[in-house]
Amino acid sequence: MTGPCRVCSNCSSALFMYPTSLIWMSLAPDPELQKNTLEFDRACARGIGLIGGVELVADRRTKRAFEPTCGVGARCVRFAEENGLIVRSVAGDVVSICPPLVITTQEIDELFDRLARALDQTLDWAQSERLLAA
């Protein structure tokens, strides 16, 4: 077997090695994601298990979005990359977080430290560009 078939075979074999209960347990709502991102005053968090998203908004109270031309999500992704974190911007200004299933608790803490730095840098940038609601 070669090429994509071999990769698919290896991936499906790897999935059988994970206990099913562990995978489903990781899909429970993640209070850590909620706790960490709620401290950032210009974001609304949502997620399930290890998959999460942080929606960056101009006004958290009204959830008013930034103008699409501002590129706030893309700027946050750039700041995250500068801090050694790989995230992506989806659906406007939602920053998507999707760590591997094998991430440790210590690595999750490090992920949130890096994400917090990127969010703080994004907030500073948005303030300097006068993109935030008064």
| Predicted local distance difference test score (pLDDT) of residue 27 | 43
Give me the tens of pLDDT residue by residue for the chain, a chain 134 residues long. Answer: 455 544 444 444 444 444 443 443 444 445 555 554 444 555 677 777 778 888 888 887 888 888 989 999 999 999 999 999 999 998 888 999 988 888 888 898 899 899 989 999 998 999 999 988 76
Of 60, 18, 21, which Cα lies nearest the Cα of 38?
A: 60
Just give the CATH number of 28-128.
3.90.1150.10
d(CA 129, CA 56): 15
**In the block, residue with structure tokens 């920053």:** 95
The domain spans of the chain are 28-128
C-alpha pair distances (Å), 121 with each of 93, 114, 124: 15, 11, 5
**pTM recorded for the entire structure:** 0.69
